[in-house]
Amino acid sequence: MASGIDYALQNKALVLSALKRLGRKPWEDDFDDWYHDGLLRYAYHFDRLQPDVADAHALARFNRYATWLVYQDLLDRQQKQQVAQKQQTTDNALPAQAAPADDTDAPSAAMLAAIKARLSSTDQQVLALRYDRDLTNREIAAVLGLSTSRVWQIRQKIKRIYAELA
């Protein structure tokens, strides 16, 4: 039985497309690090989810999903690097007594728990993909296998529940 790394090497184009979408260029100094990290993330998801490699349709579905997962993993890495760079810049620029801004518009953990309690599992997935991963309706629809109009309806439902609880 082939391992995840074998399939990652067979599907290098998936990792390269995720890197292209992130704006990573092959001539950048750290491109190889990003590329190898993407291959390892693909292998990790392959080994974790264990798709049926005998079924071409199932393997194609897994590859679409794995492309999205690898992209999200690399996007998280990129965002963490950007936050760290901004933090380093602001640490050097701000006086020591400056306090971080208070985000009063963000719902509390109790509010999120109350909202999630009134949602189905699909609705909760839409909530997580939209607000945790910041995906568009089209991207959420592709990941969950829904229509974009259904994703929009679910988001409207979430907004109504939030308004009722606020």
pLDDT digits 0-9 by tens, 73-90? 888 888 888 777 777 766
39 close to 114: Cβ distance less than 8 angstroms? no
Q: What is the band of 99 on the pLDDT scale with cuts at 50, 70, 90?
A: very low
Are 72 and 119 in a shared domain?
Answer: no
Q: Are residues 43 and 84 in the same domain?
A: yes
* Statement to judge: residues 83 and 127 lie in one domain: no
Query: Is 13 found in the same domain as 89?
Result: yes
Q: What is the share, in percent, of the chain residues with pLDDT greater than 90?
A: 3
Among the ranges given (11-20, 55-64, 139-148, 153-162), the one the predictor scored with the smallest mean pLDDT = 139-148
Q: What average pLDDT does range 25-48 have in this prediction?
A: 88
In this structure, is the dihedral angle defined by the CA atoms of residues 143, 144, 149 and 151, taken in order, positive or negative? negative
Residue type, 16: L
Per-residue pLDDT at 166 exceeds 80? no
Q: What is the pTM of this model?
A: 0.52
**Helix residue ranges per DSSP H, the chain:** 4-10, 12-21, 31-49, 56-93, 109-117, 121-131, 137-144, 148-165
In a domain, 100, yes or no: no
Closest CA to 127 of 93, 102, 160: 160
Rounded to 10 degrees, the C-alpha dihedral 61/67/69/71 comes to -160
Q: Are residues 59 and 127 in the same domain?
A: no
> Any residues with CB less than 8 A from the CB of 66 and at least 6 apart, and which?
11, 14, 42, 45, 46, 49
Q: Is 60 contained in some domain?
A: yes
Q: Are residues 86 and 8 in the same domain?
A: yes
